[in-house]
């Protein structure tokens, strides 16, 4: 796909309280960042927007928003940068084209083994039915 550019004005940041251990600092200060990026309103190419909307990731909502929660660091600025980095990684991953799978044929040995196993199973079932006819 190539390169892409994200305008920081297209990203919404909101500071929220982080979860987990940390004592009074966590309870008082909103250091975690919630990043919201609207795919449809962005300046990305139409092809990349389509790829992002169809990309299988739980952070992408059905209405075309990418939500990333960053709370790894104790600093709000570091969490903001972490969220931006994770957004860039997500878009880069969605932009990468997948390799087309080359269909391969089963090997001769695999085909022979499959037929041998089928023959063995068939013989086993045949042996069961012949025992029933002796009882009658």
Say how far apart CA 9 and CA 11 lie, in whole Å: 5
Buried b (16+ CB within 10 A) or exposed e, 64-103: eebebbbbebeebeebbebbbebbeebbeebbeeeeeeee
Write out the two tokens for 32: 């975690």
pTM: 0.68
pLDDT confidence bin for 130, thresholds 50/70/90: low
Distance CA 16, CA 67 (A): 13
Give residue 120's pLDDT: 96
Range 68-80 average pLDDT: 92
Residue written as token pair 């009658």: 136
Q: What is the mean pLDDT of the chain?
A: 87
């Amino acid at each position: 796909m190539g390169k892409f550019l994200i305008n920081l004005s297209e990203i919404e940041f909101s500071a929220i309280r982080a979860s987990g251990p940390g004592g009074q600092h966590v309870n008082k200060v909103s250091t975690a960042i919630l990043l919201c990026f609207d795919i449809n309103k962005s300046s990305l190419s139409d092809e990349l927007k389509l790829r992002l909307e169809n990309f299988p990731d739980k952070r992408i909502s059905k209405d075309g928003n990418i939500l990333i929660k960053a709370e790894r660091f104790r600093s709000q600025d570091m969490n903001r940068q972490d969220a931006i980095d994770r957004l860039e990684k997500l878009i880069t991953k969605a932009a990468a084209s997948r390799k087309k799978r080359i269909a391969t044929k089963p090997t001769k040995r695999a085909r022979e083994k499959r037929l041998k196993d089928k023959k063995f199973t068939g013989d086993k079932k045949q042996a069961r039915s012949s025992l029933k006819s002796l009882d009658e």
